[in-house]
Amino acid sequence: MLISHSFFSPFRTSARGLEAQRIAMGVAAENIANANTSRTADGGPYAPKRAVHEMEEPAYDRFADLLSQVRTRPMARDDRHFEGLSLRRRLQQAEMGPLTAVDELPERVRTEYDPSHPHADEQGYVTYPDINVVEEMARMISANRIYEANLTAVQATKDMIKRTLEI
């Protein structure tokens, strides 16, 4: 039975969405954790970050190429052919390209008067990153909901495939 590479397309799409939202949740959590970080190793306040989701050529084209290579190789008479045909190993070695980049935002800072703070300047002001914790929480909740939607899509696809194979 020949299975088209489009058979796995919903799983690939959902997997990419899951990865993108995992990164987005991590970036939002990092921003929240560093909302009051007045000094980093670079000497300035923490620079807020954003997850930037990039569009690229579909990854399933590369997956289809790998799958076609596996199908066209002749099988050996002994058990060694499994090592040579490992699709998982070939996928791990394949260059899948960037999905989501994490960019630092232009310097946004807020100052607070606290002359007793060790990082206060001569006038007694401390520079903090301008991070709105409520906005970051909203980003986390949104990313979490999209993540759950992708998990639901994976489960629905599995159920459809299971029902199709039962026919």
Task: Give the pLDDT confidence of 54-88 residue by residue, as tens digits.
Answer: 655 555 566 566 666 655 555 554 444 444 444 44
With bands split at pLDDT 50, 70 and 90, how would you rate the model's confidence at 94?
A: very low
More confident residue, 89 or 11: 11
Residue 147: what pLDDT? Answer: 93
Separation in Å, CA 12 to CA 15, 64, 143: 5, 12, 18
Compute the distance between CA of residue 41 and CA of residue 126 in angstroms, rounded to an integer.
16
With bands split at pLDDT 50, 70 and 90, how would you rate the model's confidence at 20?
A: confident
With bands split at pLDDT 50, 70 and 90, how would you rate the model's confidence at 51?
A: confident
Task: Sort strands 100-104 and 49-53 into parallel, antiparallel or unpaired.
Answer: antiparallel
Taking the whole predicted model, whether its pTM rises above 0.75 is answered as no
